[in-house]
Structure 1
Amino acid sequence: MSTIADVARLASVAKATASRALSGKGYVSEETRERVVSAARTIGYVVSPNAASLVTGRTKSVGVIIPYISRWFFAEVLESIEQALLEQGYDMTLYNLPSASPERDRVFEYFLARKRFDGVISVGVELSDDEVDHLHRLRRPLVGIGGAIRGVHTIAIDDVATARLATEHLLSLGHRDILHIGGNQDEQMDFAVHSKRLSGFLAAMHAADLPTNDAFYACELTVPGGYEMGRSVLGDPRRRPTAIFAASDEIAIGLIVAARELGILVPSELSVIGIDGHPYAEMFRLTTLEQHPRRQGRLAVMSLLANLDIPTPEDASESTVLATNLVMRSSTSAPRAPLHHA
């Protein structure tokens, strides 16, 4: 196995010079650095992470906690975080965090405490005060994605404002008979995403002085969830709306599939809008509010690494609210004018 001494010998420099050149700590000339790097590459020498940690005080490793891995939004954020960390020379350890349970406690009390991370990124997890305090005691810088966390820099969209904008788009087209199909209010995601998107819908409807009784139906935030609810709601022409605001693109896609099976034309007989910017939105010509999960993941990494150099006070909370953008496609249009019989 090659050692730093072998690298130094091949590059004709002292061991201390070779170490400085490979660690980036301390001055060496560019010509010397290139010679040392070339020598290390020639003999296959790789800097030991443990040795580098002793020199820099950094482990070049970040812990990531996340509630879901298979769901689209979380998978997109996670992939973006990993790419951004690799670009900066960092490794990542992932913890699929369950809801309140002994298993969750062990992640904080054992794994995050035992492993030496430079920092932690929390994706879509509403941390308790005790969990935040525990990470602060461990001197672990923390960045969150999805909603406000006390004393932590967080990155999120404004779910209420985004849902209101989606509903207002339908209203601007002339729709008055609008439904919202979203997540179950008794089975909230962290940061109350379901209720925030319902609140935005209700605010837009109330501002337009429109009734909201029986204007909300709950389902899973999945394509099958939207499809099943679509078959149920759209199958009865007596209660069929002219437009639906879906809390996610996956629900919206399921609704469009159900409408097609029922012979309902989208958008001339039914307009559908979602939230997310799912890659399938283009295929289904879905009008949506894009929330750019990959941007959120990359910003979280940049924020965390900046915090390593200039730590923020533990009692300082900062929220970065990212704008969503309306992408208009052919799933929304003005409602069809009613037929007039002579």
Structure 2
Amino acid sequence: MAASIIDVARRAEVSTATVSRALRGLPNVSEATRERVLRAAEELSYAVSPHASSLASGRTGTVGVILPFVNRWFYSQVVAGIDSVLRANDLDILLYNLGDERVHERFFARMPPRRRVDALIVLNLPLSATESESLVSLEVPIAVLGTRIPGCWHVSIDNAEGTSTAVRHLINLGHRRIGMISGALGDPRGFTTPIVRQHAYRTVLAQAGIPYDPDLEAPGNLTIDEGASAMAQLLSLPDPPTAVFAESDQMAFGALRTMGRMGLRAPDDVSVIGFDNHETAELLDLTTIAQPVAYQGELLAQQILDALSGSSEEPAQVVVPTRLVVRGTTGAARVARPRHPSSPRPGPEPDQHSRTTAR
């Protein structure tokens, strides 16, 4: 596979925008940096895409980005990654936010990208077969994040493996009562990521011989507030979990907020693990499954550049690895000490502010 501008940027330890400026001889690049970029490009046998400098007649110089939520952290990070690569190649972005069901339907009825964009990038958007065919009929290169469209470029992570790693981490710490705060399982549009992660959670429990308890699943809808509500639901159970896997870091933030308000701490009372490695995760010392969110956007943009320049004959399918980042919110499960027959009966339940060893 030919080297990309992203590969050169990583080798030279600069941004893709700096690589583009350095290779085109533009100002605001130091000589030392320019030499490092040129050396990296030479070592990788990188050839500058002709697209940015020789748009064919009729090209718009614009790439359409179709996404379900324009205001959520994950999508803003992916768009930032896309923009960094496209902007470095003198291309603009045109956003299509299909968060509302009526807007979604109107989009596919009118197909506004027609003749307005040179390519499309689709971000985690559930599509019917008819809708996928409508996009393909535009006859422009299409790169897709997460969901797949036959014959199109594709970038994803292995959601099942990431979830399995998270749940196994909790099991290896001795936890057997493991809850899950899930994403948008009930969304009528049919987002697949929460379903895949839910299935992986249940599969790993079964593999470990842990009986599945539906009461240990609570909906968090990928937001902090609903993650907080989900954690309150789990902690109100007669036999609450000793550990919780949240399908996103933002839901995990909400879970930690609820614990704090109840006088509980992670991991002393309940271990918590998230998913994403949001920039706030390190601040809150949250254990998480890290995925390179902005980098996935960079890869999508590079696939589009390769497609437009003709350097990529077959649509590439890229699976980006995830990794476990262990911080302070997960720890070993507490083992209840057996009571001596002559031990006194337990006293009254401690109040919320003194319940630091109750679980």
TM-score bracket, normalised by the shorter chain, equals: 0.7 to 0.9
Larger radius of gyration: 1
Query: What do residues 21-49 of structure 1 show as CA deviations (whole Å, max 9, x unaligned)?
Result: xxxxxxxxx99xx9xxxxxxxxxxxxxxx
Residue 86 of structure 2 aligns to which amino acid in structure 1? L
2:81–2:294 contact (8 Å) kept in structure 1: yes
Task: Provide the secondary structure at the position in 2 that maps to 1:275.
Answer: strand
Residue 198 of structure 1 aligns to which amino acid in structure 2? Q
* Aligned counterpart in structure 2 of residue 334 of structure 1, from 332, 338, 345: 332
The aligned residue for residue 344 of structure 2 is: none
2:181–2:231 contact (8 Å) kept in structure 1: no
Matched ranges for 1:228-267 at <5 A: 228-236=229-237, 238-267=238-267
1:150–1:317 contact (8 Å) kept in structure 2: no
Matched ranges for 1:182-193 at <5 A: 182-187=182-187, 190-193=190-193
* Aligned counterpart in structure 2 of residue 324 of structure 1, from 322, 329, 332: 322
TM-score for the superposition, normalised by structure 2: 0.74
The aligned residue for residue 4 of structure 1 is: none
2:303–2:316 contact (8 Å) kept in structure 1: no
Q: Could you say if the C-alpha distance between residues 255 and 292 of structure 1 is closer, same or farther in structure 2, counting changes exceeding 3 Å? A: same
Q: Could you say if the C-alpha distance between residues 204 and 296 of structure 1 is closer, same or farther in structure 2, counting changes exceeding 3 Å? A: same
1:108–1:134 contact (8 Å) kept in structure 2: no
Verify: 1:223 aligned to 2:221, yes or no. Answer: no
Query: What do residues 289-310 of structure 1 show as CA deviations (whole Å, max 9, x unaligned)?
Result: 0111101100000001101122
Aligned equivalents of 2:73 and 2:250: distance in 1? 9
Q: Could you say if the C-alpha distance between residues 69 and 199 of structure 1 is closer, same or farther in structure 2, counting changes exceeding 3 Å? A: same
1:176 Cα shift?
0.9
Query: What do residues 216-260 of structure 1 show as CA deviations (whole Å, max 9, x unaligned)?
Result: 222221111111122232145x32111011111111111111112
The aligned residue for residue 48 of structure 2 is: none
Query: What do residues 263-282 of structure 1 show as CA deviations (whole Å, max 9, x unaligned)?
Result: 22210221001111111111
Q: Could you say if the C-alpha distance between residues 154 and 191 of structure 1 is closer, same or farther in structure 2, counting changes exceeding 3 Å? A: farther
2:226–2:251 contact (8 Å) kept in structure 1: yes
Query: What do residues 141-173 of structure 1 show as CA deviations (whole Å, max 9, x unaligned)?
Result: 100012222221111111112111110010111
Per residue, is there more helix in 1 or in 2? Answer: 1
Matched ranges for 1:1-342 at <5 A: 58-98=59-99, 101=102, 104-106=105-107, 109-115=110-116, 117-187=117-187, 190-214=190-214, 215-236=216-237, 238-310=238-310, 318-342=316-340
2:183–2:222 contact (8 Å) kept in structure 1: yes
1:188 Cα shift?
6.0
1:149–1:317 contact (8 Å) kept in structure 2: no
Q: Could you say if the C-alpha distance between residues 90 and 272 of structure 1 is closer, same or farther in structure 2, counting changes exceeding 3 Å? A: same
1:53–1:59 contact (8 Å) kept in structure 2: no
TM-score for the superposition, normalised by structure 1: 0.78
Aligned equivalents of 1:176 and 1:123: distance in 2? 35
Q: Could you say if the C-alpha distance between residues 190 and 60 of structure 1 is closer, same or farther in structure 2, counting changes exceeding 3 Å? A: farther
RMSD: 2.6
1:209 Cα shift?
0.7
Aligned equivalents of 1:54 and 1:312: distance in 2? 17
Aligned equivalents of 2:127 and 2:90: distance in 1? 27
Task: Provide the secondary structure at the position in 2 that maps to 1:94.
Answer: strand
Aligned equivalents of 1:143 and 1:72: distance in 2? 20
1:124–1:190 contact (8 Å) kept in structure 2: no
Unpaired runs of 5+ in structure 2?
Answer: 1-23, 28-52, 341-359
2:247–2:274 contact (8 Å) kept in structure 1: yes
Residue 332 of structure 2 aligns to which amino acid in structure 1? A
Task: Provide the secondary structure at the position in 2 that maps to 1:282.
Answer: helix
1:138 Cα shift?
2.6
Q: Could you say if the C-alpha distance between residues 317 and 190 of structure 1 is closer, same or farther in structure 2, counting changes exceeding 3 Å? A: farther
1:74 Cα shift?
0.6
Residue 125 of structure 1 aligns to which amino acid in structure 2? L
Q: Identical aligned pairs, as a percentage? A: 31
Aligned equivalents of 1:242 and 1:145: distance in 2? 34
1:184 Cα shift?
4.5
The aligned residue for residue 14 of structure 1 is: none
Unpaired runs of 5+ in structure 1?
Answer: 1-29, 35-51
Task: Provide the secondary structure at the position in 2 that maps to 1:113.
Answer: coil
